[in-house]
Amino acid sequence: MTIQRMGTGKRMSAAVVHGSTIYLAGQVAEQTTERGVTEQTAEILSIIDSLLKEAGSDKTKILSTTIYLSDIKTFAEMNLAWDAWVPQGHTPARATVEAKLAAPHYKVEIALIAAK
């Protein structure tokens, strides 16, 4: 089986495809870092859409998601964007945790595993 790496940098790849499984690294906002959790989440979900498309999949095939929030009190704000994005009947297994993220301006980070 081959391994395909996408968006490969010095320390990580944005996505890795192995067989029919896609692994997305934790994605953070790039354009909305000075905005709120809802806006950062919406941007991240757009990035995820692009990565999944490039890997030959889409959000209906997400198997598992881990969402990291810098402040768990923003859970409802994150869910505003999440609920508008995830298709009804295609919700993945999901965990949401509070964590100190790589930089103070990141409020949300989302990693996931999807099928092709």
Domains identified in the chain, total number:
1
pLDDT at 52 over 80: yes
Task: Quote the CA–CA distance of 3 and 101 in Å, as a whole number.
Answer: 28
Q: Which domain holds residue 70?
A: 27-110
In a domain? residue 81: yes
DSSP 7-60: EE-SS-EEEEEETTEEEEEEE--SS-TTS-HHHHHHHHHHHHHHHHHHHT--GG
In a domain? residue 33: yes
In a domain? residue 17: no
Predicted confidence (pLDDT) per residue in 54-113, tens digit: 999 999 999 999 999 999 999 999 999 999 999 999 999 999 999 999 999 999 999 999
In a domain? residue 3: no
In a domain? residue 16: no
Q: How confident is the model at residue 1 (pLDDT cuts 50, 70, 90)?
A: confident
Q: Give the angle subtended at the CA of 112 by the CAs of 63 and 26, to the nearest 5°.
A: 175
Q: What is the CATH number of the domain that holds 74?
A: 3.30.1330.40
